[in-house]
Each structure stands twice: as structure tokens, then as C-alpha cells.
């Protein structure tokens, strides 16, 4: 009985020593680690169907949805600014001083002929200053 | 069975005391999306921060805006001297850009103050003229705009609003010779198929650019129908685009359809108000000076000398004592790149790099070097280029209200880990 226990202990100790040495030697080897994810955030486009005529065409340019900060004036931004460009022109900007947003809207009206009525222009300026200016951008 | 579990349990118990298993703390390596905006400080990333998007004829590129389309080329594509067409950056001004061109109807019109106006089909352009090729860098005026302090409004490009291609087509000069230019002509104006919903006569309706006929670059311009030996992607200006070697891309009219000789100089917004730079060394000024209203401006022209470290990109650790290969590109709109140098001591000393094949004065020039970090730690390498007119990159930042001409010395940070 006692001989059997001693033998078992001996084996156990040897195995433990092997594991301990192995653990120390390969301690930095980290096994693969995985996290759940999503496929298709960037879909692979299908090949186009071509015909040998003179019309050289490509598919439509995608317009992904864009989130604008909710708030007063967001509807005016969507209506007027969207005439010439996507609102991504707004979200792409760094936080700008409030005066720069006013200058931008004035430039759209004067140089680019956006012709946004005064009341709506003011609403748009206030909206941009309230959400996309140096002190307000989140 | 029981004893095995016991062993595993004891072994598991050992784990926390073995120093190596601190590796379990490496969660910073799990992929996180980049921040959704940068500022008011400079954009700290090599590229701009937009998401990737897949546009027709394009590899996934970095989206700045979708309508009109502005896409940036990711850094890794600059490992090659010639930027692949499907990775070439895209920048339009107006939302009405073509999805299709019918070459039965499409003609290149050469008109205005000319003796014999012409309308040429693509076939005429290809068959009636001997093709020439030029390797030329195309760089957006606002490339790296997101570096400026204070930040300025506009497309917030990182460094990827540039590309280099072998452009093949017809010399502009030969086209102008077929029509003849009337005496007293001063400029030639370029108009593509791009249109916007704005009122006639305003910059929201047409994008127009002009070059002086007396400008020596006229002799070097080509009307290109091939880009790296293939038709141009629609987003890069199919069927033809103007190539103005050494000049910022604002003059490289895409889907070029009207070449108009002018008897008086072009007063449209895109020449008179937009794309102007302070008439000062390096085109730099200050917000205070601009407010005085006394900053004289010029239309933007040639791009200044620049260089970039492309790889390694700093996103992986380096090993001490092992030489790594540093690679990048350099170019100048003023002449051939004469040398590219690397500094590992914040610009105190500079070491020459080896230049790659010379594809002509306006092409990207590859450079390579080797660097051996001695020990673990954080390092910063700087790169600067000098062109053969002796223009050299400086470390002082520049500023102008348009966010143009950025060419400050570039730096790359590296983390070197411990190898024992």
C-alpha cells in the first residue's frame, strides 16, 4: 500500500516537473484567441455583365447611410445641404470654430448659390455650431 | 483520470507565477475601429480615418465623402512605385459625375479662340496621333490637410491623396496644333463631364481650370487615355484626363471633354477664389495675417518636394539587434529627387538612403535603407528629400486657409520589444 503510494507520488512529481519546465519554457506562447465578429461589413461586389457596344458604364456609386447628431436644424441640413453634397461633408470635418461653420454656410450661399432662405441658414449654422464645433463635437 | 485532473489543476495553479503568462494581458491587440473624427489637434494617423468602401472598379479604399466621391489610397499601396489603378485615390468636386460614357456620342471638343475648331472621337485620338508616355505623380492640393494647426475645413486627407502612374496619350500641344491657336490667346481652359446642381455660371455647376499658354508646362501636358497601360477607371476620369506633370491634381481635369482656348484670363471661381495659395515662401501664412486681408495669393501650381516612410508602418513591434528594411517614396514637382535621407536622432544627423529606379522627373522615386534598433524602447525615424533644384523638406509646419502644400518632414514611430 505504502509502496504503491510512493510510486504514484514519484510519477506525479515527475509529470509535474515536466509540466512546470514546459510551462516556463513556452510561457510566452499564447494559443489562438478568437472573438465573435461579423462577415460582410464590406461586401465583395459581383462582376458586372458587359456587352461589346460603345457604352462604357459602371454601376451606381454607393451612398452609405450617415448618422447626423439629432437636434434642432438637422432636418434643414438634410434638406438643403444635401442638394449638392452628402452630409458626410459635415461629419468628415474636424471640430471647427463656430465662426468657421458660419463662414462655410455663407460660402455655400454666396459663392455656390445655394440660396438657402435666411431663417433656414441660421438654423443650419446653429445646428452645426451646436454639434460640430470645437467645444461641442462629441 | 482523477490524477490527471489533479495534475492539470496544479499546473493551472502554477500559471499566474510564471512571468511569461503576462502575455494574457495583450488585449490591446484585438481589433478596434479607428476614432470617428480627429481634432482639434492634427490627425495622428498616416491615412485619413474614414471607413473602407468598395466603389466601382476600385479596391476597398478609405471613404472621405460619397457624393461627390472622395476616396483615399491606403498606405500599403505605396510600397509600389506605380499606384495600381484600382487603388488610386479619387477626388471630385461636384455630385454629377459620370457612371457611363457612350463613345459613339462622346467627343473631345477643342474650341474657343482657335482657327479650326475640332471634335475628336476617342478613336481619332488613339489612331491619329502617336502616343507618348510619362510617369507622373498626381497629388491633390489638399493632401495631408488633416495635419494643419489650426485645422481648416475641407476634405480631411491623410497622406493618401496621391498616386503615381504611367500615363499614355497625346501631347496637348499636338492637339492645339491641329486646331491652331489664334493670336492674342492667353489661356487654355479645361472642362470635364463633371456637373453640379448649382445655377449656371457658378462653381456649383461646373468645375473649370485653366493654364497660361505661356506656361512651360503646356509643352509637357498630355491627354491620357491609358493609366498604367489600361483604360482609366471611371472615377479617375475615363475616357481621357489631362496630365500636368509636376502640377497639383486640380489641373488634371477628369473626363476631359472641352479644351477651350481663351482670349482673356479665366475669372471663374475655381481659378480666382479656389485653389489659391499665399504668395509667400512655402505658401505659409497665419490665421491672424489672413484676417488683415493683406495676404496676396496666387493660383496653386507645382507641388513641393515630399518623402514618406511606407514600411514598416509601425503597427508591429520590431526586434532589437535585427536590421530591418526601411522603404518609401519621394517626389517633387520641381525636378528629380536628388536624395532621400533618414534620421534616427530627431534630425541631428542624416543618413543617405539608396534610391530606386528613375522613371523620370515627375514619378515617385522609391528609396530604401536599413536600420538596426539596438535595444527595446520607442524610436522615431524621420525622412526628408531634396530635389535637384535644391529644394529640401523642412521640419517647420506650414499653414494656409486652403490647407494646401503640406510637405513637412515625416516621422514614423516604432516600438522595439525585448527579445530575451
Nearest Cβ partner of B69 from A16, A45, A61?
Answer: A61
Nearest Cβ partner of A63 from B11, B66, B102?
Answer: B66
CA distances from B32 to A6, A12, A35, B27, B28 (A): 54, 44, 12, 11, 9
Residue of higher predicted confidence among B6 and B275: B275
Closest alpha carbon to B132 in B82, B173, B164, B169 = B169
Within A29-119, strands assigned E span 55-57
- Look up residue B170 and give its three cell numbers: 497625346
Q: What is the pLDDT of residue A27?
A: 62
Residue A8 lies in a domain: no
What CATH number is given to the structural domain containing A112? Answer: 1.10.760.10
Contact of A7 with chain B, judged by CB distance below 8 Å, is answered with no
Q: What is the pLDDT of residue A23?
A: 62
Q: What is the rounded average pLDDT for all residues in chain B? A: 94
Mean of pLDDT values over B116-141? 98
Angle at B288 between CA B282 and CA B293, to 5 degrees: 85
pLDDT band at A5 (very low <50, low <70, confident <90, very high): low
Nearest Cβ partner of B54 from A19, A45, A112?
Answer: A45
Q: What is the pLDDT of residue B3?
A: 42
Task: Give this prediction's pTM.
Answer: 0.90
Domain carrying residue A115: 74-132
DSSP helix/strand/coil, B207: strand
- Look up residue B202 and give its three cell numbers: 457658378
Determine whether the interchain pair A93/B63 forms a contact, defined as Cβ–Cβ distance below 8 Å.
no
Same structural domain for residues B135 and B250?
yes
* CB B312, CB B344: distance < 8 Å: no
Determine whether the interchain pair B100/A43 forms a contact, defined as Cβ–Cβ distance below 8 Å.
no
pLDDT band at A20 (very low <50, low <70, confident <90, very high): low
Q: Does B19 score more than 50 pLDDT?
A: no
| pLDDT digits 0-9 by tens, B31-79 | 688 999 999 999 999 999 999 999 999 999 999 999 999 999 999 999 9
Residue A78 lies in a domain: yes
**Is residue B368 within a helix (H) or strand (E), and if so which, with residue range?**
strand B365-371
Q: How many domains does one find in chain A?
A: 1
Same structural domain for residues B313 and B194?
no
Residue B65 lies in a domain: no
A35 vs B contacts (CB less than 8 Å): 30
Determine whether the interchain pair A85/B102 forms a contact, defined as Cβ–Cβ distance below 8 Å.
no
A94 vs B contacts (CB less than 8 Å): 37-40, 43, 146, 151, 156
Nearest Cβ partner of A19 from B7, B57, B197?
Answer: B7
**Bond from prior residue into B269 cis (ω within 30 degrees of 0):** no
Residue A89 lies in a domain: yes
Contact of A5 with chain B, judged by CB distance below 8 Å, is answered with no
DSSP helix/strand/coil, B283: helix
Residue B126 lies in a domain: yes
| Residues of chain B above pLDDT 70, percent | 93
Residue B9 lies in a domain: no
Same structural domain for residues B239 and B373?
no
| pLDDT digits 0-9 by tens, B293-302 | 999 999 999 9
B255 vs A contacts (CB less than 8 Å): none
Among the residue ranges A1-5, A87-91, B176-180, B244-248, the one predicted with the least confidence is A1-5
Residue B16 lies in a domain: no
pLDDT band at A45 (very low <50, low <70, confident <90, very high): confident
Q: What is the pLDDT of residue A31?
A: 83
ipTM (interface predicted TM):
0.89
Residue A51 lies in a domain: no
Domain carrying residue B107: 93-274
Residue of higher predicted confidence among B240 and A16: B240
Same structural domain for residues B160 and B251?
yes
Q: What is the pLDDT of residue B291?
A: 96
Q: What is the pLDDT of residue B18?
A: 44
Domain boundary among B256, B274, B292: B274
Nearest Cβ partner of B100 from A42, A55, A94?
Answer: A55
Same structural domain for residues B145 and B224?
yes
pLDDT band at B147 (very low <50, low <70, confident <90, very high): very high
Determine whether the interchain pair A84/B101 forms a contact, defined as Cβ–Cβ distance below 8 Å.
no
Q: How many domains does one find in chain B?
A: 2
| pLDDT digits 0-9 by tens, A62-79 | 999 999 999 999 999 999
Residue B8 lies in a domain: no
Residue B224 lies in a domain: yes
Measured between CA atoms, how close is B6 to chain A, in angstroms?
A: 9
Residue B28 lies in a domain: no
Q: What are phi and psi of A133, to 5 degrees?
A: -100, 170
**Is residue A125 within a helix (H) or strand (E), and if so which, with residue range?**
helix A118-132
Same structural domain for residues B203 and B331?
no
| pLDDT digits 0-9 by tens, B198-257 | 999 999 999 999 999 999 999 999 999 999 999 999 999 999 999 999 999 999 999 999
| pLDDT digits 0-9 by tens, B330-350 | 999 999 999 999 999 999 999
Amino acid at each position: 500500500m505504502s509502496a504503491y503510494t510512493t510510486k504514484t507520488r514519484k510519477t506525479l512529481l515527475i509529470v509535474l516537473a515536466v509540466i512546470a519546465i514546459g510551462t516556463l519554457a513556452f510561457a510566452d506562447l499564447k494559443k489562438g484567441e478568437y472573438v465573435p465578429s461579423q462577415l460582410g461589413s464590406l461586401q465583395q461586389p459581383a462582376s458586372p455583365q458587359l456587352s461589346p457596344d460603345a457604352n462604357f458604364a459602371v454601376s451606381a456609386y454607393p451612398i452609405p447611410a450617415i448618422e447626423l447628431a439629432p437636434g434642432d436644424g438637422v432636418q434643414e441640413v438634410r434638406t438643403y445641404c444635401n442638394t449638392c453634397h452628402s452630409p458626410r461633408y459635415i461629419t468628415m470635418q474636424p471640430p471647427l470654430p463656430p465662426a468657421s461653420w458660419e463662414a462655410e454656410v455663407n460660402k455655400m450661399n454666396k459663392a455656390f448659390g445655394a440660396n438657402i432662405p435666411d431663417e433656414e441658414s441660421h438654423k443650419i449654422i446653429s445646428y452645426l455650431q451646436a454639434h460640430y464645433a470645437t467645444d461641442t463635437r462629441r | 483520470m482523477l490524477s490527471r485532473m489533479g495534475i492539470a489543476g496544479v499546473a493551472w495553479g502554477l500559471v499566474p507565477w510564471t512571468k511569461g503568462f503576462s502575455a494574457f494581458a495583450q488585449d490591446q491587440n484585438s481589433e478596434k475601429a479607428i476614432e470617428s473624427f480627429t481634432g482639434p489637434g492634427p490627425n495622428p494617423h498616416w491615412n485619413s480615418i474614414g471607413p473602407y468602401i468598395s466603389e466601382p472598379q476600385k479596391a476597398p479604399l478609405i471613404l472621405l465623402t460619397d457624393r461627390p466621391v472622395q476616396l483615399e489610397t491606403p498606405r500599403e499601396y505605396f510600397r509600389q512605385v506605380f499606384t495600381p489603378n484600382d487603388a488610386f485615390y479619387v477626388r471630385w468636386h461636384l455630385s454629377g459625375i459620370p457612371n457611363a460614357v457612350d463613345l459613339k456620342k462622346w467627343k473631345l471638343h477643342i474650341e474657343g479662340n482657335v482657327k479650326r475648331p475640332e471634335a475628336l472621337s476617342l478613336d481619332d485620338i488613339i489612331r491619329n496621333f502617336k502616343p507618348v508616355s510619362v510617369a507622373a505623380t498626381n497629388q491633390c492640393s489638399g493632401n495631408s490637410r488633416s495635419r494643419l494647426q489650426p485645422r481648416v475645413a475641407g476634405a480631411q486627407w491623410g497622406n493618401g491623396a496621391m498616386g503615381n502612374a504611367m500615363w499614355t496619350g497625346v501631347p496637348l500641344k499636338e492637339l492645339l496644333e491641329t486646331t491652331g491657336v489664334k493670336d492674342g490667346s492667353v489661356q487654355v481652359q479645361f472642362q470635364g463631364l463633371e456637373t453640379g446642381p448649382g445655377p449656371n455660371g457658378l462653381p456649383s455647376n461646373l468645375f473649370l481650370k485653366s493654364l497660361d499658354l505661356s506656361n512651360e508646362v503646356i509643352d509637357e501636358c498630355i491627354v491620357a487615355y491609358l493609366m498604367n497601360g489600361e483604360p482609366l477607371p471611371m472615377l479617375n476620369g475615363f475616357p481621357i484626363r489631362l496630365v500636368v506633370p509636376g502640377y497639383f491634381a486640380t489641373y488634371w481635369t477628369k473626363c476631359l471633354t472641352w479644351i477651350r482656348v481663351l482670349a482673356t484670363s479665366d475669372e471663374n471661381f475655381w481659378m480666382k477664389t479656389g485653389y489659391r495659395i499665399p504668395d509667400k515662401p512655402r505658401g505659409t501664412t497665419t490665421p491672424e495675417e489672413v484676417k488683415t486681408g493683406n495676404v496676396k495669393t496666387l493660383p496653386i501650381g507645382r507641388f513641393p518636394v515630399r518623402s514618406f516612410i511606407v514600411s514598416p508602418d509601425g503597427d508591429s513591434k520590431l526586434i532589437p539587434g535585427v536590421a530591418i528594411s526601411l522603404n518609401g517614396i519621394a517626389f517633387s514637382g520641381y525636378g528629380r529627387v536628388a536624395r532621400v535621407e533618414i534620421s534616427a536622432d530627431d534630425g541631428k544627423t542624416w543618413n543617405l538612403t539608396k534610391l530606386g529606379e528613375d522613371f523620370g522627373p515627375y514619378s515617385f522615386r522609391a528609396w530604401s535603407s536599413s536600420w538596426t534598433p539596438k535595444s527595446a524602447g520607442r524610436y522615431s525615424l524621420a525622412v526628408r528629400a531634396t530635389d535637384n533644384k535644391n529644394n529640401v523638406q523642412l521640419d517647420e509646419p506650414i499653414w494656409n486657409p486652403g490647407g494646401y502644400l503640406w510637405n513637412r518632414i515625416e516621422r514614423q514611430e516604432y516600438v522595439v520589444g525585448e527579445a530575451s
